[in-house]
């Protein structure tokens, strides 16, 4: 009796195992995992090795992650330093290009009057004296610079040497109130005296005869009549005209061609031919 029951249980267990195996194989087949199971059954050592290798690589990635991050940060820092160095070199090249352009303009200005002798000078400072507008250049007596010599930039007249030492000189700007320069207008050919109006104000031309119809926009150049400045150095253009019928003269306001805030390299006119007005006062 017991033997029969035992056999019956074995048969039911066998049927359950077969049914379960069939269901399992069906599920594995539907999910695409059946091929992997058969591969594992054929070569279990390879499957175990692959599973172990995958877990080892995962652990290796976790361990080496911080090291890779540190190396990436070092590489980024090196690249940023390289970019900063290249930007610095680019700025230096731009500065050299600007200096070269400025020198070309200065040489172009000098080429128009090759009969004048000039000395190239750099601006090395601004005078802090509030009563006088002036700049300091790095050329002095040892370079042939003397008091009274005209100083010009690429765009036009800057002023006049006021004081000179062995290796430097002080240049008073033409906008200074003590400045007085004989000038001529380019279109009407009228003459007058250009006088500075002080810091922040435009210079004016006084003593222009009323017979001249002075127009806004006329070019203003040095006339050379006092012998202290050569002829035809550009000063600027007329921006306003005031006529005074009662005094028989008119006045013109001038916008200088030079931007005095950005002066860097200048030319000191050390020698030029001028007419001595005292010649006309001599007895025949």
CA distances to 152, 263, 275 from 171, rounded to whole Å, are 10, 12, 24
Where is pLDDT greater, at 186 or 2? 186
pLDDT digits (tens, 9 = 90+) for 224-254: 988 899 999 999 999 999 987 777 889 999 9
Inter-residue contact 267 to 119 (CB < 8 Å): yes
Q: Model confidence over 51-95: pLDDT tens digits?
A: 556 555 555 555 555 567 888 888 888 888 888 888 888 777 776
Rounded mean pLDDT of 275-284? 49
Give the C-alpha distances (Å, rounded to integers) separating 233 from 102, 133, 272: 18, 20, 12
Residue 22: count other Cβ atoms within 10 Å of its Cβ.
Answer: 10
**What pLDDT score was predicted for residue 114?**
79
- Total number of residues shown for the chain: 284
pTM of the model: 0.63
Q: Is 163 helix (H, G, I), strand (E, B) or coil?
A: strand
**What's domain 117-272's architecture?**
Beta Barrel (2.40)
- For the stretch 17-61, pLDDT in tens is 666 666 666 665 666 655 555 554 555 555 555 555 655 555 555
| CA dist., res. 1 & res. 63, Å (int) | 65
Task: Indicate the range of 48-57, 183-192, 217-226 predicted with least confidence.
Answer: 48-57
Which residues, 6 or more positions from 264, have their beta carbon under 8 angstroms from its beta carbon? 102, 122, 123
Which pLDDT score is estimated for 144?
Answer: 96
Q: Three-class SS of residue 215? A: coil
Residues 6+ apart with CB under 8 A from 148: 160, 161, 228
Which H/E stretch holds residue 232? Answer: none
């Amino acid at each position: 009796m017991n033997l029969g029951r035992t056999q019956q249980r074995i048969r039911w267990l066998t049927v359950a195992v077969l049914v379960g195996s069939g269901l399992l194989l069906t599920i594995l087949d539907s999910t695409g995992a059946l091929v992997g199971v058969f591969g594992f059954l054929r070569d279990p050592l390879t499957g175990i090795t692959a599973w172990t290798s995958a877990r080892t690589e995962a652990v290796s990635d976790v361990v080496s992650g911080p090291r890779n991050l540190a190396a990436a940060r070092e590489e980024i820092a090196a690249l940023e330093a390289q970019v900063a160095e290249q930007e610095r070199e680019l700025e230096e090249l731009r500065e050299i290009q600007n200096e070269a352009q400025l020198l070309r303009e200065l040489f172009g200005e000098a080429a128009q009057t090759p009969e004048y002798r000039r000395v190239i000078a750099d601006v090395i400072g601004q005078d802090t004296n509030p009563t006088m507008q002036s700049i300091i250049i790095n050329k002095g007596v040892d370079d042939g610079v003397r008091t009274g010599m005209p100083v010009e930039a690429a765009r036009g007249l800057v002023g006049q040497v006021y004081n000179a030492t062995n290796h430097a000189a002080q240049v008073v700007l033409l906008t200074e109130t003590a400045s007085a320069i004989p000038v001529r207008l380019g279109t009407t050919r009228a003459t007058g005296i250009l006088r500075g109006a002080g810091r922040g104000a435009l210079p004016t031309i006084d003593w222009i005869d009323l017979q001249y119809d002075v127009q806004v926009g006329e070019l203003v150049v040095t006339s050379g009549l006092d012998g202290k400045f050569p002829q035809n150095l550009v000063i600027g253009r007329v921006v306003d005209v005031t006529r005074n019928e009662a005094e028989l003269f008119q006045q013109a306001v001038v916008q200088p061609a030079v931007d005095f805030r950005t002066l860097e390299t200048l030319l000191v006119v050390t020698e030029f031919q001028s007419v001595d007005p005292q010649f006309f006062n001599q007895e025949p």
